[in-house]
Amino acid sequence: MNRKLGKQTIGLKICPYIISRASVVGQKEGEGPLKDSFDMIVSDDKMGQISWDLAEGAFQKTAVEIALKKANLKNSDIDYILSGDLQNQCAATHYGLRETNIPFLGLYGACSTMIEGLSVASMLISGDYAERVIALTSSHFCSAEKQYRNPLEYGGQRTPTAQWTATASGAVILSNAGNGPKVTHITTGKIIDKGICDVSNMGAAMAPAALDTIVAHFNDTGLTPDDYDLILTGDLGVLGSEILCDLIKNDGYDISKKHNDCGKMLYNIEEQDVHSGGSGCGCCASVLCGHILSELEKGKYKKILVAATGALMNPLTVLQGESIPTISHAVSISI
Amino acid sequence: MNRKLGKQTIGLKICPYIISRASVVGQKEGEGPLKDSFDMIVSDDKMGQISWDLAEGAFQKTAVEIALKKANLKNSDIDYILSGDLQNQCAATHYGLRETNIPFLGLYGACSTMIEGLSVASMLISGDYAERVIALTSSHFCSAEKQYRNPLEYGGQRTPTAQWTATASGAVILSNAGNGPKVTHITTGKIIDKGICDVSNMGAAMAPAALDTIVAHFNDTGLTPDDYDLILTGDLGVLGSEILCDLIKNDGYDISKKHNDCGKMLYNIEEQDVHSGGSGCGCCASVLCGHILSELEKGKYKKILVAATGALMNPLTVLQGESIPTISHAVSISI
C-alpha cells in the first residue's frame, strides 16, 4: 500500500508519460476559441457514416489513428485500449474501435470517462502490466440530443442552464518511457447524489461530485490550490463552476484564481449560443488533448489537476422521478 | 513487463484472494439446479422498488451487503468498487451503489462485466493500489426484456436460439491477504465482430469472442485444457457452447471434456423453458459467486478458467443494420 495516500488517492511511483495525443472535433467546436489546438476539424458531422451514432465511433477511430501516427506507433504496439461514451451500451466506442485488434477494457463514467480512462491506464502502466495504453472517449451533439433529450427536428428550446454536448473525441497514448507530461496522482471519485433532478442543469448536479473529489485530493495529498497552476474541471459549465468555487470555500480552499472548466473554454459562450457552456465526454477529452496538454508541453503550466465530472442517470430514471447520481475522477499531470 | 505473458495475458505475481462472495437471485433462478448455492433467493422481483430498473440496483446493493457481512467488513474497509450492468448508462449500478461511499470505477462489458471487474480488481490489488476491492454486476429479466426486446405485456414469442436474461447479482471481495481461491492469470479480450446480426442468437454472436480469448490464453501461457479442471464460459448457452467447442478444435485444442457454460447451468433448460439457456451479466456473476467458487473452496476444482462473453451492440445499432461486436474476458482461478 506504499502508493496509497489517504482514502481515495494514489501517488504513482512510476509516472506514465503522455507520449501522444489527438483531438478530432466538429464544425462548431472548430469555430471556438481553441480551434488552433485541434488535430482535425470535421465539417461533415456524419463523418461519411449513415448515422450520427456510427459517426461518433468514427471520431474515436480517427482520434486513435492520429494519436498512433503522431507517435509513430502501430496498433500492435499498444497493450490496452480503454474507452466508453454516452450512447446506450457505449455503442460509439464498440463500433468505432472494433477493428483496432487491441485488448479492450470498456468504461462507463459518463462525462468523467476521459479521466477514468487516464486513471486506469496510468495504473496499468505504473503497475507494470503494460508498456503503452490508449485512453479515449467521445460525444456527439446529434446522437446525444436524440438519445437524452429530443430529436433535433423537434427544435426544442433550451433552458439558460443547459449545456451543449460537444461533437468531439480526444485520445492519449500513455507509456512507461518517452517524453511528455506525466500523470502523478489519481483520485477516484465516489458516487454522489444530492437529490438534484433537473437534467437541464447538469452543472448544478455535478458540482458536488467535483467538490467531493477535489477536496479528497487536497486532503489525501496535503497539496493545496497553490501547488497547481490550473485546477480544471470537466464540464460543469458556467453555473456549475460558480457553484463549485463557492462551495469549496466551506472546506477551506479557494480555487477561484486557479480554476477553469473545459465547458467554459471550448466555445465562445455568448456568440456561439451554448447557454451554460459545453458538455459531453468529448468536451473534456478534446480540450485536454488539444489545448491543455499543448500548454503543458510548452511549459505554460507545470502542474495541473483535472477533475472530470459525469452524470450517471439515464433519461428513463429521471422520468421515473429519480435524482441524478454523479461522479468525478481526478488526475494530477506535471511536466 | 515481467508479468506480461504473450500479447493479452498477465500472470499475476501477487495473486489476490477471493475472500468473500455473494449471490442474490430471483425466483426462477432459485428454482433451478443451483438453488442451494445462492445466498438469497428473492420472490419479489421488484425488491420493494417502484420499477424493475431500481429493483436491479437493489439486487446489487444486497449482494454487496451480504459479501461484506460474510467477511465481517464495513464499507470503509473497501478501497474500490467496480461494477456495470446492461441498463442504459448502467443505471442499475449507479442507483444501487450510490450510498456505498466507496471510490467507484464504472465498467461496461455487457455480459462479460463480472470477469472484466475481476480482472481490473485483481490488477488494482496486485499492483499495490488497493487492499480490498469489490467487483460485481447484475441483470434483471424484466428490465432487459423491456429495454432490449419488447415490453413483457406484449407476450412476444422467443426463438429456439434465444436465451433467458437472469435476474441475479453476484459480488466478490478480493483482498491482498486472507483465504480463498486466488486469481492467477488475466486474459483481456479484443472486440470481435464476425458479422452476425441476429440478436436472438447471442450464443452464435459471442462464441467467436470466447474462442479468440481462450485460444489467446492458451497460446500466451503455454497452458492447455489438461491444466484446467473446468473451462467455464459466461453465457454462450446451449448453441454457443456447441459452436465454441467445435471451432476451437481448428486451433488444436479440445475443450469438450472440460467445458461448461453458466447459461447451461443456471436453469433446468427443458423444464424451465429457457430455450438456449441463461444470459445477462447476472448469469455468470451468480453462477460464479454461488456454485463455482463454492466448488473451488471445497476442493472439487483446483484450477479453472472463466471466460465471460459480452455482446456490445445496442438495440438501435442492430435496427440500423449493424452487426454485433462482442468481447470475452478471462481469468484463471486456483485454490
Model ipTM? 0.98
Q: How far is A192 from chain B (nearest CA, A)?
A: 7
CB neighbour list of residue A273: distance below 8 Å, 6 or more residues apart? none
A325 touches chain B (CB under 8 A): yes
Q: Which residues of B touch A314 (CB under 8 A)?
A: 87-89, 91
Place of cell 486513435: A64
CB pairs under 8 A between A and B: 174
A213 touches chain B (CB under 8 A): no
Helix (H) or strand (E) holding B116, with range, is helix B113-126
CA distance A85 to A107: 8
Reduced to 3 states (helix: H, G, I; strand: E, B; else coil), residue B92 is helix
A102 vs B119, B190, B317: nearest CB: B190
Strand-pair partners of B168:
B25, B139
Q: What is the mean pLDDT of chain B?
A: 97
Q: Which residues of A touch B314 (CB under 8 A)?
A: 87-89, 91
Q: Do A80 and B53 touch (CB under 8 A)?
A: no
The pLDDT tens digits along chain A (335 residues) read 446 788 999 999 999 999 999 999 999 999 999 999 999 999 999 999 999 999 999 999 999 999 999 999 999 999 999 999 999 999 999 999 999 999 999 999 999 999 999 999 999 999 999 999 999 999 999 999 999 999 999 998 999 999 999 999 999 999 999 999 999 999 999 999 999 999 999 999 999 999 999 999 999 999 999 999 999 999 999 999 999 999 999 999 999 999 999 999 999 999 999 999 999 999 999 999 999 999 999 999 999 999 999 999 999 999 999 999 999 999 999 99
Amino acid occupying residue B261: D
Q: Is the pLDDT of residue B209 over 90?
A: yes
A103 touches chain B (CB under 8 A): yes
Q: Do A95 and B50 touch (CB under 8 A)?
A: no
B5 touches chain A (CB under 8 A): no
Mutate to test the interface with A, among B4, B10, B104 (most CBs of A within 10 A): B104
Q: Which residues of A touch B117 (CB under 8 A)?
A: none
A2 touches chain B (CB under 8 A): yes
DSSP string across B15-65 = PPEEEEEEEEEETTGGGSTTGGG-SEEES-TTTTSSSHHHHHHHHHHHHHH
pLDDT single digits (tens) B163-202: 999 999 999 999 999 999 999 999 999 999 999 999 999 9
Q: What is the pTM of this model?
A: 0.98
CA distance A56 to A141: 9
Strand-pair partners of B303:
B334
Residues 39-98 of A with CB under 8 A from B: 50-51, 53-54, 79-80, 84, 86-91, 94-95, 97-98
Q: Which residues of A touch B190 (CB under 8 A)?
A: 100-104
Q: Do B127 and A127 touch (CB under 8 A)?
A: yes
Q: Do A8 and B106 touch (CB under 8 A)?
A: no
Q: Is the pLDDT of residue B1 over 60?
A: no
Q: Do A3 and B129 touch (CB under 8 A)?
A: yes
pLDDT single digits (tens) B48-82: 999 999 999 999 999 999 999 999 999 999 999 99
Q: Is the pLDDT of residue B207 over 80?
A: yes
A148 touches chain B (CB under 8 A): no
Reduced to 3 states (helix: H, G, I; strand: E, B; else coil), residue B260 is strand
Q: How far is B191 from chain A (nearest CA, A)?
A: 5
Q: Which residues of A touch B110 (CB under 8 A)?
A: 89
- Average pLDDT rounded to a whole number, residues B305-318: 97
pLDDT of residue A5: 87
Give, in order, the Cα–Cα distances in Å from A249 to each of A222, A234, B116, B292. 17, 20, 39, 51
Q: Do B88 and A315 touch (CB under 8 A)?
A: yes
Q: How far is B298 from chain A (nearest CA, A)?
A: 31
Q: Do A128 and B50 touch (CB under 8 A)?
A: no
Q: Is the pLDDT of residue B2 over 60?
A: no
Q: Do A102 and B4 touch (CB under 8 A)?
A: no
- Average pLDDT rounded to a whole number, residues B133-149: 97
Residues 287-316 of A with CB under 8 A from B: 312-316
A94 vs B4, B7, B325: nearest CB: B325
pLDDT of residue B64: 98
Q: Do A188 and B3 touch (CB under 8 A)?
A: no
CA distance B229 to A129: 27
Res. B5 pLDDT band, cuts 50 70 90? confident
Q: How far is A33 from chain B (nearest CA, A)?
A: 31
Q: How far is A100 from chain B (nearest CA, A)?
A: 8
Give, in order, the Cα–Cα distances in Å from A302 to each of A13, A119, B210. 19, 19, 45
CB neighbour list of residue A309: distance below 8 Å, 6 or more residues apart? A111, A112, A206, A207, A209, A210, A233, A234, A235, A236, A240, A326, A327, A328
A127 vs B84, B129, B317: nearest CB: B129
Task: Pick the range with the lowest mean pLDDT from A29-43, B2-16, B144-158, B295-309.
Answer: B2-16
Q: Do B84 and A53 touch (CB under 8 A)?
A: no
pLDDT of residue A6: 87
Q: How far is B230 from chain A (nearest CA, A)?
A: 24
Query: Alpha carbon A106 to chain centroid distance?
Result: 15
Q: What percent of chain B has pLDDT over 90?
A: 97
